[in-house]
Structure 1
Amino acid sequence: MVGARRERPEPVTLPLSILDLATIGPGETTAQSLQGSVALAQVAETHGYRRVWYAEHHNMPRIASSATSVLIAHVASRTTTIRLGSGGIMLPNHAPLTIAEQFGTLETLHPGRIDLGLGRAPGTDQKTLRALRRDPHAADAFPEDVQELRGYLAGKSLIPGVDATPGKGTEVPLYILGSSLFGARLAAALGLPYAFASHFAPDALRDAVAVYRSEFRPSAQLDRPYVIAAANVIAADTEAEAQQQFLTLKRQWVRTLLGRGRSYTDEEADQILASPQGRLVHHNLQYTALGAPAAVREYLAGFAAHADADELIVAHQTTSVADRLRSARLTAEAMELRSPGTLHPAH
C-alpha cells in the first residue's frame, strides 16, 4: 500500500485513463479479446475516463495488441469522444516515417482523439526482433528517431524532400514512455509528457519523476511537466473475489516469466509464488489497487501522491473480459469520474 491510510480518503481529482493490454484470458479467443477491447473503450467513454492506450507487444500468445495502430483504428470507429493511443509504439521496431503516416491517418480520420506514446524497448525477445527485420541496435537511435517523427507530424521534416502524407501538420501529441531515468531525461529535454510503466517496472518511479520535473524544458506541445503514472487495478464486488482474480493473474505471470516452454499447474504456480523464485512476480506487481471499490479508491489516492502524478493510467489486470469490464465500471464509480476533458494540459 502506498500513502497513509485514511478512514475517509480525499477525492482523487486527477484524470484517470486505461491501459488496455488486450489480454487473451484462459479459454478466450483472440477475437473475444479484441471485442473486449472495444467494449472496454465504450465503458471508458461512458464512465468518464480520459483516454485508452494500447501497448505494442510481439510473439506473446496472451496479448492481442501487436498491430497497435490497426486496433486503435478499429476501436476509434466504434467510439465517439474518448482519446485513444499507443502506450506505446516501440519506435525501434519501425521507421519514423511509417509511424507518422499511420498516426497521421488516425488523426485525420478521428481528429482531436489520437495520442502517440513512444517506447524504446522492443516489446519482445531478440529472436522476434530479428523476425521484425529490425537492427538489434536500433534502440540506440531512439532520441533521433523521436525528433524525426516529431518533425514529420509538425510539418517540419528533418529529411529534406520527405513528408508524411497523411501526417504532415497533424501535430499528434507525443508522449515518452519509460521505466528508467533515460526516458525521464529524454522527455524533459524534448518538453514532452512522461508516462512511467510502474504497473510492471516499479523500481525507478519516484527517482524518474523527480528527474523529469527538475530537468523539464518547455516546448511547443507542453509548457510544464506532465506525469502519467501507471498502476494495476482489480476492482470487484468483494475483497475475496478481487484476491482470487489477483491470484489467477500472478499464476499467469509465473507461467509467462518462468515457464520456459512448460505448463505449470495452479498448485505448482502457487508453490513458486511462495518461494524466493516468485519474488519477482510480487515485486513487479507491487503497485496494484485491489479489492472492493472503497479500497481501490483509497489505494489510488495514495498512489497518486506517492508518484507525484498529474494523471493515472490503470491496467485492469483481470484475466477475463467480463471481469475487466466490471473492474473498469466499479473503479469509475468509486473515483466519481466526471465528464472527460476538463483537464488536459498535455495536449
Structure 2
Amino acid sequence: MMFPQVRLSLLDRSRTRSGEPDEAALGHTVARARRAEQLGYHRFWVAEHHAVPGIASGSPPVLIAAVAARTDRIRVGSGGVMLPNHQPIVVAEQFAMLEALFPGRIDLGAGRSLGFTPPVRRALRRDAAGPDTFAADLAELRAYLDGTAPVTVRPRLDRPVPLFVLATGRGLAVAGDAGLPVVLGGPALDRDGIGEELADYRARVRAAGAQPYVVVSRDVLVADSVAAARELALPEAWALAAARTTGQFPALEPVDPGRPLSARQRTVVEDAVGRTVHGDEAAVADELRDLLARTGADELLASTSTFDRAALGESDARLVRMFRRDG
C-alpha cells in the first residue's frame, strides 16, 4: 500500500454555497459523513466558527450528534471546540453525553482560536488582548474527562473521551507537556523548522509518559489532472481572498474564469492554491508522501471543500483508493 502506516480522516467545515440556505450545508455534512464511512475513512470531524457567512457550523456537539446518529462505525469529533469560547466543564459534559450515546466513537479536538472578527469576539465575551489561559483550560477539561476533577461530570463514564490538541507552534509544546495527540495544519506545516518542533513535541510526550501521535491537516483535491484539481481549489481560494480584503469570509461560488481580482487578491489566491495538495493521483501521492515523511505523521486529516459537491465526493473516493492501493 502507498501509505500503510497512516490513518486517513476527513474534516468538514459545513461550507455554505451561494444560492443555497445554510441548512443545505449541514445536510451535506451529514451526507458526506455517511459516504466517508462507506469509503472507509477513520474519522469524520466538524468545526466551530461563529457568525461566519461561509460556514454553517457554530456548534460542534450538536452537529456531531447528528452525524453520529446517521452513521454506525466511523469516529466522529471536533476539529475543534475552541476552549476560549467555553467553560471547560460544559465542554466535558457535552462530550461525555455524546460518548454515552455513541460509545467508542467520539473524539474531542480542542483549539485556542478566538472569534473571526472583533464584533464576534465581543458577542462571545472574549478579549483578544486578554490572558492566554489555554493550557490551564485544557488541563481542567482533561481532569473532568478522566474523573480527577473536584466535581464529577455527568453522565459518568468508565472511559475517557480521546482528547486532541489543535496546535500552532506554541500549541505543540502544550500538547507535548500534556502527553496528548496533536493536530497540526495550515502554514505551520510549511515552516522550515517544523521537523525540529515535532521532534521536541515527541520528546515532551514521552517525558510525560505517553506515546506521541501526530495528525496533519491539509486541503487535498484529487481530479483527472492538475488543471482540473486547480479549478476545484479556486472557490475556497477566492473566499479566502475576499476575507483578506473585505473582512467577510463568503459562501463558496462556482468557478468563473473571468472573475476580476486585484493584485493583492491574486497573490492570496495563488498562495492558497499552492498550499492545497491538488492534482491527479500520482501528483497528490508524491506531495503527500513528502508531507508525511517530513512530519512523521500518524494520520492525515483532509480538510478540503469546493463548490461542486459531486467533484468533492469523487475526490474523497480517489483519496481513499490512493491510500489503499498497492504501490
Q: TM-score, length-normalised on structure 2? A: 0.88
Q: Which one is further off, 131-140 or 251-260?
A: 131-140
- Maintained 8 Å contact 1:130/1:136: no
Query: SS in structure 1 opposite 2:219?
Result: strand
What is the alpha-carbon distance in structure 2 between the residues aligned to residue 100 and residue 268 of structure 1?
49
- Maintained 8 Å contact 2:241/2:265: no
Per-residue Cα deviation, 1:137-190 (whole angstroms, up to 9, x for no partner) = 666111111111111111111xx3x2211255440011111122x100011101
What is the alpha-carbon distance in structure 2 between the residues aligned to residue 269 and residue 209 of structure 1?
40
- Matching residue of 1:63: 55
What is the alpha-carbon distance in structure 2 between the residues aligned to residue 191 and residue 306 of structure 1?
21
Query: SS in structure 2 opposite 1:334?
Result: helix
What is the alpha-carbon distance in structure 2 between the residues aligned to residue 337 and residue 151 of structure 1?
42
What is the alpha-carbon distance in structure 2 between the residues aligned to residue 167 and residue 136 of structure 1?
34
- Matching residue of 2:66: 74
> What is the Cα deviation at residue 203 of structure 1?
4.3
Counterparts of 1:208-223 in structure 2, within 5 Å, are: 208-217=197-206, 223=210
- Maintained 8 Å contact 2:53/2:248: no
RMSD: 2.7
What is the alpha-carbon distance in structure 1 between the residues aligned to residue 131 and residue 80 of structure 2?
14
Per-residue Cα deviation, 1:105-125 (whole angstroms, up to 9, x for no partner) = 000000111111110111422
What is the alpha-carbon distance in structure 1 between the residues aligned to residue 83 and residue 89 of structure 2?
11
> What is the Cα deviation at residue 208 of structure 1?
3.3
Tell me the amino acid that sits aligned with residue 98 of structure 2: L
Unmatched tracts of structure 2, length 5 or more? none
Query: SS in structure 2 opposite 1:330?
Result: helix
How many residues are paired up?
Answer: 320
> What is the Cα deviation at residue 92 of structure 1?
0.6
- Maintained 8 Å contact 1:25/1:320: no
Query: SS in structure 2 opposite 1:196?
Result: strand
- Maintained 8 Å contact 2:95/2:108: yes
Tell me the amino acid that sits aligned with residue 309 of structure 2: V
Per-residue Cα deviation, 1:262-286 (whole angstroms, up to 9, x for no partner) = 99995786533xx355434444554
What is the alpha-carbon distance in structure 1 between the residues aligned to residue 325 and residue 81 of structure 2?
28
- Maintained 8 Å contact 1:152/1:167: no
- Matching residue of 2:316: 328
- Matching residue of 2:185: 197
What is the alpha-carbon distance in structure 2 between the residues aligned to residue 191 and residue 79 of structure 1?
30
Counterparts of 1:131-280 in structure 2, within 5 Å, are: 131-136=123-128, 140-157=132-149, 160=150, 162-167=151-156, 169-180=158-169, 182-198=170-186, 201-204=188-191, 205-217=194-206, 223-260=210-247, 271-272=261-262, 275=263, 278-280=266-268
Q: Which one is further off, 281-290 or 94-103?
A: 281-290
- Matching residue of 1:112: 104
Q: CA distance change for structure 1 residues 185 and 281 in 2, over 3 Å: closer, same or farther?
A: farther
Per-residue Cα deviation, 1:300-346 (whole angstroms, up to 9, x for no partner) = 222211222111111123123322212111111122179xxxxxxxx
Unmatched tracts of structure 1, length 5 or more? 1-9, 339-347
- Matching residue of 1:12: 3
Query: SS in structure 2 opposite 1:140?
Result: coil
Q: Which one is further off, 23-32 or 204-213?
A: 204-213
What is the alpha-carbon distance in structure 2 between the residues aligned to residue 289 and residue 145 of structure 1?
34
What is the alpha-carbon distance in structure 2 between the residues aligned to residue 208 and residue 30 of structure 1?
39
What is the alpha-carbon distance in structure 2 between the residues aligned to residue 46 and residue 218 of structure 1?
39
- Maintained 8 Å contact 2:17/2:54: yes
- Matching residue of 1:313: 301
Residue 24 in 1 paired to residue 16 in 2? yes
- Matching residue of 1:345: none
- Maintained 8 Å contact 1:39/1:325: no
Report sequence identity in percent: 38
Tell me the amino acid that sits aligned with residue 163 of structure 1: T
Counterparts of 1:39-58 in structure 2, within 5 Å, are: 39-58=31-50
Q: CA distance change for structure 1 residues 225 and 255 in 2, over 3 Å: closer, same or farther?
A: same
- Matching residue of 1:6: none
Q: TM-score, length-normalised on structure 1? A: 0.83
What is the alpha-carbon distance in structure 2 between the residues aligned to residue 210 and residue 269 of structure 1?
44
What is the alpha-carbon distance in structure 2 between the residues aligned to residue 95 and residue 293 of structure 1?
43
Tell me the amino acid that sits aligned with residue 214 of structure 1: A
